[in-house]
Structure 1
Amino acid sequence: MNEIFKAYLRKFVLVFFYDILVFSATWEDHLYHLELVLKTLQQQQLFARLSKCSFGVREIDYLGHTLSGTGVAMENDKLEAVKKWPIPTTVKQLRGFLGFSGYYRRFVKGYATIAAPLTDLLKKDSFQCSPNASLAFDKLKDALTSAPVLAIPNFSEPFVLETNASGSKLELFLANLNIQLLTFQRNFLLECRNNLCISENFMSSQRH
C-alpha cells in the first residue's frame, strides 16, 4: 500500500497497512486529494468499504490518537482505560501496562524517570510491588490522563530543540518557535556511552 501511494505519502496521505488517512489544509484541497486517492485505488482495482470510511471530518481517531487541526491527542477511550487501570499484581500485568503507556511516552515529560521504579521490577526474580513502584504507577497514570495536545509541526517556522543528558539518559523537548509542543522523548544510553563525559552525552542528545 505504501508503494501504491508513494507519490502522496506525507504530503497529504498516511498509510498504515490498509488504513489510509487523507489530510488537507483546505476543503478545496481535500476534495482534490480525495479524488487522487480514490482514482489510485480504482486504477489498482482496490476497493474501500463505505461503512469503514469517514469523509470530510475535522477530527478523527487514528492508531490510538485523535487527530485534528489543533494537534494530536490520546483517544478518549484510551484515557478512560488508563483511569480504570488497576495496579499490576503480576509481571505479565506490569508488562501490559508499560507496553500501553510506552506507546504514548511522547506525551509524558520524563517518562523514563517516572516509570523507572516499574521497569526495575522487571529485572527482579520475584515480583513485589514496592511503595515506590505504586507511587510511580499513580504518577504515570496522572501524567497520561493529563497529557497535553501535541502540536502538528509547522515546517514554515523555526524549531526549538531543548536537550539534556543526565546519567544514563537522554531527553529532548521539541517545539515550534511559538512553543507549540511537538513531542517529549527520552532514551536510555547504550552501556558503551556511559563512559562519556556530560558534554559528549549532551552532544549525543542533540544528534538524536
Structure 2
Amino acid sequence: MTVSPGAMSCVFDVLVSKDVESHFTKLSIVLQRFADVGLKLNLPKYSFLKSSIQFLGHFVDKHGIHTNDGEVKVVRDFPTPRSAEHVRFFLGRAGYYRAFLKNFVSIASPLTRLLMKDTSFQWCDIHQKSFDFFKLALTEAPVLVFPDYSFSFTICTDASGDIRDVLMQQVDGFYTDHTAVPQLYKGNNLSGRLTRWFLTIEEFNPTLKHI
C-alpha cells in the first residue's frame, strides 16, 4: 500500500523514495505519519541512504526491480514434481515472479491442469517443457525498470475469464472492455472489495473509457 507519494509499505516493510534529492523530504513525511498514529520504529532494523536493497523478495536498485538470486535458486534447483502438491508448491514459487515472465498463464497451463479436481497425476513431456521453461526464464529474467512519471499512462484491461493481464502504455487514459467498470467508478453504493478498488484507482484520477 502507499504510505505517501514516493513511499510504499507491506505489513511492516517500508520503502521510501528512489532518488537522493527527494529522499529526506519523503522520509520526513513518512516518519511524521508514523508518529501521528503512535507507531514506534526499531531503528537497528532500518537502513537509510542505500543504493540497493532487498525488498519483499526482490532486489531494488537505481536500474529497477530484479529477481532475488536466492528465490530463483529455489526454482532452478526444484526437483521434477512427483505429485500435484509438488506442482502447486513449484507454481507458487515461480508465480511470485510472474511479472518477469511473459505469457506466464499460458505457459503454466499444462502444470495448472494437473491441479484440477479428479485429475490423475501423470507427468508427460508437455509438463516437463513448461517446468524447464520456468527454470530457464527466471535465470534470464529481465529488469523491471521504473516508470517515467513525466509521461501519462493508458491501462488496457480485458474482462475475459482467462486473460487477467494489464497493459500499461505511456499515453493517457484507462480503457476496458468491461461495461460495468465505468459505472462502478462513479462510486455509488459500493461496499467491501469494490470500495477498496475504487479508492485505489481514485488515487490516480484516471479517465475511464469503454472499448
What TM-score results when the alignment is normalised by the length of structure 1? 0.70
- Corresponding residue of 2:87: 94
In structure 1, which of residues 74, 77, 81 is the aligned counterpart of residue 74 of structure 2? 81
Report the CA distance between 1:24 and its aligned residue.
3.9
**Amino acid in the other structure paired with 2:39:** L
Higher relative contact order (CA 8 A, sep 6+): 1
Q: Is 1:125 the counterpart of 2:131 in the alignment?
A: no
User: What is the RMSD computed on CA atoms of the aligned residues?
Assistant: 3.1
Partner of 2:61: 68
What are the within-5 Å matches in structure 2 for residues 32-181 of structure 1?
Answer: 32-123=25-116, 124-157=118-151, 169=163, 174=168, 176=170
* CA distance in 2: counterparts of 1:110 and 1:48, whole angstroms: 41
**C-alpha contact 1:24 1:33 (8 A) present in aligned 2:** no
Change (3 A) 1:83 1:56: same
Name the SS for the 1:135 alignment partner.
helix
Q: Which whole-Å deviations, capped at 9, do the CAs of 1:4-32 have from their partners, x for residues lacking one?
A: x4xx1xx111011121111143x242122
The separation in 1 between residues aligned to 2:93 and 2:84, in whole angstroms, is 14
In structure 2, do the counterparts of structure 1 residues 37 and 169 end up closer, same or farther at CA, with 3 Å as the change threshold? closer
Distance 1:145 1:131 in 2: 21
Task: Kindly provide the CA deviation profile for residues 93-114 of structure 1, in whole angstroms up to 9, marking residues without a partner as x.
Answer: 1111112222211211111221
Give deviations 1:96-146, integer Å, cap 9, x for gaps.
Answer: 111222221121111122111111111253212112101110011111221
Contact 2:75 2:93 in 1 (8 A): no
Match of 2:15 in 1: 21
Query: What letter is aligned with 1:81?
Result: V
Q: Distance in 2 between matches of 1:172 and 1:146?
A: 23
What SS class does the counterpart of residue 23 from structure 2 fall into? Answer: helix
Deviation at 1:155, TM superposition (A): 2.4
- In structure 2, the gaps of 5 or more residues are 172-208
Q: For 1:131 and 1:118, how far apart are their aligned partners in 2?
A: 11
Q: Percent sequence identity over matched residues?
A: 33
Unaligned runs of 5+ in 1: 178-205
Paired with 1:84 and 1:171, the residues of 2 have a C-alpha distance of 28
How far apart are the structure 2 equivalents of 1:56 and 1:150? 21
For 2:12 and 2:166, the matched residues in 1 are separated by 32
Partner of 2:194: none
Whole-Å separation in 2 of the counterparts to 1:32 and 1:172: 32
- Give aligned pairs, total: 173
**Matches of 1:146 and 1:156, distance apart in 2:** 30
CA distance in 1, matches of 2:104, 2:169: 18
Aligned partners of 1:130 and 1:137: how far apart in 2? 11
Task: Report the CA distance between 1:34 and its aligned residue.
Answer: 1.7
